[in-house]
Chain A
Amino acid sequence: MKLGFLVDLNLCMGCKGCEVACKVENEVPLSSWRLRVKYIDIGTFPDSSRNFTPLRCNHCENAPCERICPVSALHYLENGIVNVDSARCIGCAGCMMACPYGAIYMDPETNTADKCTYCAHRIESGMMPACVVACPVEANIFGDIEDDSSYISRYIMEHQGGVQVRKPEKHTNPKHFYVGGGNQTLNPLAHQRIEGYGLFNNITHLKHVGDPHHGILDRFLAPFAAHKAVDNKSFMDFEQKKADSHDKSHENEGGH
């Protein structure tokens, strides 16, 4: 069994449902993504079109991330998934240098590498990945690519000639396919990133990688000292934040 993904870009409407479902299912921290849907505008107004490309780990058959990981934190599962054991990861970021698809991020909460696992935990109990379930137009197709009768295999066969992978020249043998893609959508060097064109500004580069809240020394002390937990919930804890800032202003202003 070799599990694979196929995204039909002709069907995808860029709703980002898959992206959000992934975030929720895997508790992916703020500023990090396992699956993201990139918007690319092609052409000149008014003859332009907006294209949507969901991007996730390709679970390469010949995975450079697995090869470079010094402690086998990245490893193959029997079903072909390239899994990550965050308890073993030393956070060297070698995998981030090796993955040609930028699919790996340094989790700012655990300070370890993480990425899409094709929801290996859900697969184990017979469920589909969260993004597949969330997609309203069934653009995400998931299944066993070694089984010729599986939906994904039949889909690939039906679209013979129109099925692509990203960066085939890297010899990674991705098990993640696209139908309806083109050079401009699948090749990151074929489209420009121009500040001011995006729906948001100043997002070209992250200012930090890994844990932005703690310094280097904290990384050594972390197992011994309890740090104030910073997670998605604490960012959402508006009431508590308000109370905190209120207290502070009291201190600063001498108890007014």
Chain B
Amino acid sequence: MVEHGINATNAVVTMDAALPGIIWGWMITLNMWAKSIGTGVVLISAFLLYRHKKESMPSIRWIMPLISFVALNVFLLFTLVDLHQPLRMVNIFFHPHWTSAITVGAWMASLFTGLITLLLAIGLLDAYPDCARHNEIAKTVRANSELYEKFYPFVVFLAIPVTLYTAVIMAESSARELWQAPTELMQMLLAAFMAGSAALVMVSDKWSQEVRKDLALVLAMAVFFSFVMYMGEYFFSFKSAEAEVTLEYVHSGGEYNVQFWMAMVLGFIAPFFLAVSTMKSDNKTILRFAAILALIGLYLAKDVWLKIPQMLPLS
């Protein structure tokens, strides 16, 4: 009889409502992943421009805002689509509640996307002077092209809180103890470094070898530190009873064990060695492969971390 296998002090639920299960699903994973790219390329390009001459990265002035613009729009789209009342999104602007990181984040991300759009317009129109020559708007944008350099430092500065606010939303999610850790802040930042460097690697074909070396270094460092932090969470899971039970989903035998380790190997361990190996050889194909793996692994890791705390019964 099964019941004899149960310790006398153990308790078993014999009637209850179904658990809600995963509420924030793949759309929120995609949202976080795309935001990491959108802000990461801005942060990494600032680092590259600080270290190298513009001439060694000929297209960066427009390709950086282009990648960021596409990623941020994916992020905004899935934020909207995941709402159960998407048209009421305007309430965040008309009835903002400032204690909520969702509100603060939505305002900052909207401003950030607006500024990136401006940088993209200026960058593209300057790079292609024959494009829309007689268009009045294009003329005005070109006439004010110095705004790019004026706004750029502010955009870089803004990219930091836009990267980090999701960690604050997670910290405000009091029901999910796994997310309520200071490590989340660092993981968000490292995810941006990972995704930003990986995305820029994909377009760095014509850039100088020194720039690619820096990109490989940033990618390797970001995946290394992020991996170490995941391992810390994985093995030191005794910080709270809830976090410990949550981590059972990724520990051996857990439902998300395979996805977690696939993410770690594909997205962190493999790209580290691949990226380090290209720093001397400048093998563009291997570096690009490392970047693709890092992007896939990052998605898988974020997905696991998002879903596992939602599987727990809360009451």
Chain A interface (Cβ < 8 Å from any Cβ of B): 31, 33, 36, 38-45, 47-48, 50-51, 55, 64, 67-72, 88-94, 96-103, 105-106, 111-112, 166, 170, 172, 184-185, 188-194, 196-200, 203-207, 209-211, 216, 219-220, 223
* Contact pick for B13, options A106, A191, A211, CB 8 Å: A191
Q: How far is A190 from B241 in the complex, measured between Cα atoms in Å?
A: 10
Q: How far is A94 from B17 in the complex, measured between Cα atoms in Å?
A: 21
> Which residues in B have their C-beta under 8 angstroms from that of A170?
174
Number of residue pairs spanning A and B whose beta carbons lie under 8 angstroms apart? 210
> Which residues in B have their C-beta under 8 angstroms from that of A219?
83-86
CB atoms of A94 and B19 under 8 A apart: no
* 12 A–B contacts, CB within 8 A, in A order: A38-B315, A45-B3, A70-B97, A97-B173, A99-B174, A101-B314, A166-B315, A170-B174, A188-B314, A189-B313, A192-B11, A192-B13
Chain B interface (Cβ < 8 Å from any Cβ of A): 1-4, 6-24, 81-89, 91-92, 95-97, 99-103, 106, 169, 172-176, 241-242, 245, 310-315
**Residue in B17, B95, B173 with the greatest tally of chain A CB atoms within 10 Å:** B17
Q: How far is A164 from B177 in the complex, measured between Cα atoms in Å?
A: 22
- Minimum C-beta distance from A134 to chain B (A): 18
Residue on A nearest B92 in the bound complex, by CB: A70
Q: How far is A103 from B101 in the complex, measured between Cα atoms in Å?
A: 21
Residue on B nearest A103 in the bound complex, by CB: B315
**Given A67-B100, A70-B97, A101-B315; 19 other pairs, CB 8 A cutoff:** A39-B13, A39-B14, A40-B12, A40-B13, A44-B7, A68-B101, A70-B100, A71-B91, A71-B95, A72-B97, A93-B23, A94-B173, A100-B175, A106-B20, A189-B242, A192-B10, A204-B19, A205-B311, A206-B21
Q: How far is A72 from B10 in the complex, measured between Cα atoms in Å?
A: 41
> Which residues in B have their C-beta under 8 angstroms from that of A106?
20, 23, 84
CB atoms of B102 and A88 under 8 A apart: no
Q: How far is A55 from B17 in the complex, measured between Cα atoms in Å?
A: 11
* Contact pick for B175, options A64, A105, A184, CB 8 Å: A64
CB atoms of B174 and A94 under 8 A apart: no
CB atoms of B11 and A41 under 8 A apart: yes
Residue on B nearest A87 in the bound complex, by CB: B88
* Contact pick for B18, options A103, A166, A203, CB 8 Å: A203
* Contact pick for B100, options A68, A103, A199, CB 8 Å: A68
Residue on B nearest A89 in the bound complex, by CB: B85
CB atoms of A94 and B102 under 8 A apart: yes
> Which residues in B have their C-beta under 8 angstroms from that of A36?
16-17
- Minimum C-beta distance from A244 to chain B (A): 27
* Contact pick for B84, options A38, A42, A98, A211, CB 8 Å: A211
CB atoms of A92 and B17 under 8 A apart: no
CB atoms of A198 and B81 under 8 A apart: no
